[in-house]
Amino acid sequence: MTTTNDITIYDTDSPEVSHLLDFITLKKLKHSEALSEETNCFSADLYILSKKVATCSNRGHGDPIDIRILDNDEARERVDAIDAKAKQLTMHTGTRMDGTTFSGTWDLEMLIGTKVEQMLQA
């Protein structure tokens, strides 16, 4: 189980999720605990299968992760492929700090958020 600032995600230990997380590497991760409110405030370079494909960041206010894909076909193809595979995974469920629950499908944004959390806990 992984706990983020405002949610607990229950299925990050599934083999399918772990497998996809193995394809993702975040380099040059910069995290600001002071600015992390509802989500982690961070910036990083995103690599998929050892190839830099994007930069990503979050301001820490609960907004979606901003993924800026590099302007080339290979980067776009890698991002699209892993996002499509993530969306085929099981639903994730979680509990917010206020006790309410939510569910949704996995996507690249959720994988990045999970990878950031793993790196911060390491």
Residue 42 · residue 122 · CB < 8 Å: no
Q: pLDDT > 90: what percent of the chain?
A: 53
Does the structure show a pLDDT above 60 at 40?
yes
Q: How confident is the model at residue 7 (pLDDT cuts 50, 70, 90)?
A: very low
Q: Three-state SS across the chain? A: CEECCCEEECCCCCHHHHHHHHHEEEEEEEEECCCCCCCCEEEEEEEECCEEEEEEEECCCCCCCEEEECCCHHHHHHHHHHHHHHHCCCCEEEEECCCCEEEECCCHHHHHHHHHHHHHHC
Res. 96 pLDDT band, cuts 50 70 90: low
Buried b (16+ CB within 10 A) or exposed e, 8-28: ebebbeeeebeebbeebbbee
The answer, yes or no, to whether residue 6 has pLDDT greater than 70, is: no
Average the pLDDT over each of 36-45, 53-62, 83-92 and give the range with the smallest value.
83-92
